[in-house]
Amino acid sequence: MSNFQEFALKPTERTLPQQVFHPERRKRVRTTVHWPLFIFRNDSAEGIESTTLNLSSTGFFCLSRLSFDPGQSLFCTLHVPSHDPEGKERLWILECRVRVRRAEPAASDGLYGLGCELEDYRLLSSHQAM
């Protein structure tokens, strides 16, 4: 296995000169899920609609039509499907306070990348949130 690791980290003839190996910086495994999300700035009652692209036990990444600054504190609600085989509880609401850790410039589609770290949260069933 050590030969594979050495091979994987060494540049090859096909590697472009400007490419550099960057070790994985994330501390937790991320899972690709597309859950509805509403983002609220502290001074606004109007939520910004989005969808998660991936999440971990400590945060999530999504796209937003509005930009945010790294370090900014936000309130979010994630709509989490329960997958209850009996269908009694179809949706959970994860209310959370997050801190923006990464803000990417808008892409050609006009959407900004937003990496957020969970600071505090509570889980509610859909009937508790209403």
92 falls within a domain:
yes
Model pLDDT, residue 69: 95
- Please tell me the total count of domains within the chain: 1
19 falls within a domain:
no
17 falls within a domain:
no
Model pLDDT, residue 75: 96
55 falls within a domain:
yes
In terms of residues, how long is the chain?
A: 130
Q: What is the domain extent for residue 55?
A: 24-129
Model pLDDT, residue 26: 59
- Ramachandran bin of 83, using left for φ above 0, alpha for ψ from -120 to 50, beta for the remaining angles: left
CATH number at residue 50: 2.40.10.220
Strands (E), 4-58: 36-41, 48-55
Report the alpha-carbon distance of residue 2 to residue 23 in Å, rounded: 17
40 falls within a domain:
yes
Model pLDDT, residue 44: 77
For the chain, 130 residues long, the average pLDDT of each consecutive 10-residue run is: 41 45 63 94 87 94 94 95 75 94 93 96 77
11 falls within a domain:
no
> In this structure, are residues 64 and 114 in contact, taking their beta carbons and an 8 Å threshold?
yes
1 falls within a domain:
no
14 falls within a domain:
no
Q: Is the full-model pTM beyond 0.75?
A: no
| Start-to-end Cα distance in the chain | 53
